[in-house]
Amino acid sequence: MVNSIGINYGQIANNLPSPEDVVPLVKSIGATKVKLYDADPRVLKAFANTDVEFMVGLGNEYLDKMRDPTNAQAWVKENIQPHLPATKITSIFVGNEVLTLNDTSLSDCLLPAMQSVHAALLNFGLDKQVTVTTTHSLAILQTSYPPSAGAFREDLMDPLCETLNFHQKTGSTFLINAYPYFAYKGNPEQVPLGFVLFQPNQGVTDPQTHLHYDNMLYAQIDAVYSALASLGYKKLPVHISETGWPSKGDEDEAGATPENAEKYNGNLIKLMSGKTGTPMRPNSELNIYIFALFNENMKPGPTSERNYGLFKPDGTPAYPLGITPNNVVGRNTTVGGGSFGNAVTNPYYPMSSSTGYMSISSARQQRYQLLGHVLLMVPLLIIKTLV
């Protein structure tokens, strides 16, 4: 097995380097995959013949239009086909966190849009190399602790099962956005910092499986695996399409510091360099996309939203990650995981893509204000276990 580090390449800024200058930055952190929130041709062209795999996005604002197979066919012909095979586009995510936005006008369009895009790929003979998927918030979980009891929300079951069936039929992956940072931010007095930063800590033990977890992200991933298995989708692969930690925040954004961002992302990169999965799936590959490549100065919301980047706009590190170019060996010597019984420039095409990405960012911030419903772990349960 080979774990893969990916990076989210957002472009809501007016001071980012050219896509050509971004290529060496991506390679310097050992990333082999890039998640793009649109299908910016400048970026796709810049990464041609680099062997970097791309996941491109169709924003929520396109869902209604993409229900029409003719529109999907035209979009794939214009945005995907011209870049293959030089640029390794491997998947398209259609819509972002749609099912937890409580907007039936969007959720009703999700599966038809995914089906239309897949049909277009099939018509062009591209369906074997490019899959179709969508991303989900952890708020799709009703139960998240212990990880073995992970279960999806009952009110989302119908549309969720439709997309799961689509994944199974087409061979695409299940994408989840997971942010331990928000659990800490919501309750810094009770959530152990070491547990969310992959640092040495007592961890928690799942009372049902007796699997030990010493970081929150792996517990979150295994809760998703459990939820999928409970519906009969045990073999469906899970990728983490977003996770990260801000290096700066407002006064009420606990933990948003360069030191914590360095520990979270640096330790995660080192952990990913090992050949091991989560405690529940130790032999399954981990594919995790860090959010994000750059600090983006035009993103709305609190200060943290503009400070998730590994790099500043001038290409210098936002903080030291403790890694050397093309080498994902971390600076810290001990990194948490788990064990058995006892782990750039403003986009000009398409123009509406940037607007859709802004709404995604805002939605992410809003939903994590509902702490206590789903964020792993439930803080009181963590403390009860640790003391």
> What would the DSSP string read from start to end of 129-156?
T-EEEEEEEGGGEEE-SSGGG-EE-GGG
- pLDDT of 249 > 60? The answer is yes
- pLDDT of 355 > 60? The answer is no
Contact 172, 132 (CB under 8 A): yes
Average pLDDT for 304-313:
97
- pLDDT score, position 7: 97
Q: Which residue has the higher pLDDT, 346 or 23?
A: 23
Which fold is adopted by the domain 5-311?
TIM Barrel (3.20.20)
- pLDDT score, position 3: 76
- pLDDT of 326 > 60? The answer is no
* Whole-number percent of the chain with pLDDT over 90: 79
| Domain locations in the chain as residue ranges | 5-311
Assign 1 a pLDDT band (cuts: 50, 70, 90): low
pLDDT in tens, 205-236: 999 999 999 999 999 999 999 999 999 999 99
Average pLDDT for 172-191:
95
The catalytic residue among 20, 78, 97, 296 is 97
242 assigned to active site: yes
- pLDDT of 8 > 60? The answer is yes
pLDDT in tens, 31-68: 999 999 999 999 999 999 999 999 999 999 999 999 99
pTM of the entire predicted model: 0.86
- pLDDT of 348 > 70? The answer is no
- pLDDT of 199 > 60? The answer is yes
- pLDDT score, position 63: 97
Return the bridge partners of 324, or none: 327
- pLDDT of 81 > 70? The answer is yes
- pLDDT of 350 > 50? The answer is no
Assign 323 a pLDDT band (cuts: 50, 70, 90): low
- pLDDT score, position 371: 33
- pLDDT of 372 > 70? The answer is no
The catalytic residue among 20, 53, 61, 242 is 242
Contact 310, 292 (CB under 8 A): yes
Gap between the Cα atoms of 176 and 269, Å rounded: 18
* Whole-number percent of the chain with pLDDT over 70: 83
Q: Which residue has the higher pLDDT, 225 or 342?
A: 225
Q: What does the mean pLDDT of the chain come to?
A: 86
61 assigned to active site: no
Gap between the Cα atoms of 166 and 173, Å rounded: 10
- pLDDT score, position 324: 54
Tokens of 326: 């093309």
- pLDDT score, position 349: 24
Give whole-number Cα distances, 127 to 44, 93, 122, 170, 191, in Å. Answer: 19, 14, 5, 8, 43
In single-letter form, the type of residue at position 212 comes to H
- pLDDT score, position 318: 96
Instruction: Outline where 55-148 has alpha helix (H).
Output: 63-66, 69-79, 104-123
Q: Which residue has the higher pLDDT, 273 or 257?
A: 257
- pLDDT score, position 352: 27
Q: Which stretch of DSSP H or E encloses residue 54?
A: strand 53-58
- pLDDT score, position 273: 83
Q: Which residue has the higher pLDDT, 81 or 285?
A: 81
